């Protein structure tokens, strides 16, 4: 039986370095870029990537690869549930589930495609209360960003900021592309990515430490050395820290791994790049995008001062923004 693409051996104990990157790009183009399997096959063949037996990629072979849970380090148990397969994965379990959702949506003709938000997970915040904006469709079904009002438990923001997603994302994109067009920026990106890779290793160590602490807490609780209340409190805090660190790790890995390639037309690259790559470059350049309320309802332009871009202080990047 041929080995699975992305793995160095049939037992799937080792990842194959020269195939992991292409596989992740293929998945990113599927999940983030909304490209079809056929388009991904054309792209992969054009880049010179081949299957494990040396053949060109086809619509069907891309589909088979995307449906195999092993690429995410998973397998199906006897009940058909996804569980840890005990070997490394080239992509995350979340990405595989996104592939499953994509596959299901392709089978449902009337399924409305979800909007792929560029500025969520802390990338954009409310200018009035600093709460992270989240993607939310309007009553008319138009994608947008909003500051979620507080719920009954007091979680949430002021609820006073809403903005059209296309309007905000195009505004941010124009400034990011302008930065990319500056002389010498590619060299600075490479230096910044090296720093991000160091951060990735630190976050991985933090995750390992947190998982160890959770195991220790469970052991102490099992030995009745701590109360159930203390265990629940510790587990809740560790789980929250794990979720936050894993989220930051996911985006840091995207920042470290994306490539502009040899694109001569950066505007065209931005318009056709997978969303994961665009999110990575936005995160690399911007610490945060702050959005304030519009002066009046229904405004379809970004008024002066409504959107504030907070640029990272990276060596060699212009301070005259």
Task: Assign residue 81 the CATH number of its domain.
Answer: 3.90.1750.20
Task: Give a yes or no: residue 271 inside a domain.
Answer: no
pTM recorded for the entire structure? 0.49
Residue 288 has pLDDT above 60, yes or no: yes
Instruction: Give the structural domain span for 81.
Output: 17-108
In sequence order, the β-bridge partners of residue 162 are 146
Task: Give a yes or no: residue 262 inside a domain.
Answer: no
Task: Give a yes or no: residue 283 inside a domain.
Answer: no
Residue 66 has pLDDT above 80, yes or no: yes
Task: Give a yes or no: residue 189 inside a domain.
Answer: no
Number of other CB atoms surrounding residue 118 within 10 Å = 22
Task: Give a yes or no: residue 59 inside a domain.
Answer: yes
The whole-number pLDDT of residue 112 equals 52
- Of the candidates 118, 115, 112, the one whose C-alpha atom is nearest the C-alpha of residue 133 is 118
Residue 139 has pLDDT above 70, yes or no: no
Task: Give a yes or no: residue 100 inside a domain.
Answer: yes
The whole-number pLDDT of residue 265 equals 62
Q: What is the number of domains present in the chain? A: 1
**Which carries the bigger pLDDT value, residue 307 or residue 111?**
307
In sequence order, the β-bridge partners of residue 76 are 82
Task: Give a yes or no: residue 195 inside a domain.
Answer: no
In this prediction, residue 321 has a pLDDT band, given cuts at 50, 70 and 90, of very low
The whole-number pLDDT of residue 147 equals 94
Task: Give a yes or no: residue 51 inside a domain.
Answer: yes
């Amino acid at each position: 039986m041929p080995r699975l693409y992305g793995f160095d051996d049939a037992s799937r104990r080792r990842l194959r370095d020269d195939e992991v990157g292409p596989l992740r790009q293929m998945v990113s183009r599927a999940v983030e870029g909304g490209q079809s399997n056929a388009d991904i096959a054309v792209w992969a063949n054009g880049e010179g990537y081949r299957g494990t037996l040396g053949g060109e990629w086809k619509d069907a072979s891309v589909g088979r690869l995307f449906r195999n849970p092993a690429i995410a380090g998973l397998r199906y148990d006897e009940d058909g549930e996804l569980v840890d397969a005990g070997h490394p994965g080239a992509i995350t379990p979340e990405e595989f589930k996104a592939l499953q959702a994509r596959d299901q949506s392709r089978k449902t003709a009337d399924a409305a495609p979800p909007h792929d938000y560029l500025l969520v997970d802390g990338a954009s915040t409310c200018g009035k209360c600093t709460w992270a904006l989240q993607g939310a469709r309007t009553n008319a079904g138009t994608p947008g960003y909003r500051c979620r009002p507080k719920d009954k438990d007091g979680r949430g923001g002021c609820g006073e900021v809403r903005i059209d997603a296309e309007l905000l994302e195009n505004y941010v994109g124009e400034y990011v592309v302008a930065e990319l067009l500056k002389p010498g920026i590619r060299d600075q990106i490479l230096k910044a990515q090296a720093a991000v890779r160091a951060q990735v290793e630190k976050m991985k160590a933090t995750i390992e430490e947190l998982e160890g602490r959770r195991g220790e807490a469970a052991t102490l609780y099992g030995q009745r050395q701590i109360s159930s209340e203390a265990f629940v409190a510790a587990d809740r805090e560790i789980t929250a820290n794990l979720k936050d660190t894993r989220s930051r790790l996911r985006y840091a890995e995207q920042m470290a791994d994306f490539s502009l390639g040899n694109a001569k037309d950066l505007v065209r690259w931005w318009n056709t790049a997978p969303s994961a790559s665009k999110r990575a470059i936005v995160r690399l350049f911007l610490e945060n995008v702050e959005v304030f309320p519009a002066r009046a309802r229904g405004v379809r332009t970004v008024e002066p001062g409504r959107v504030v871009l907070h640029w990272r202080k990276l060596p060699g990047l212009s301070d005259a923004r």
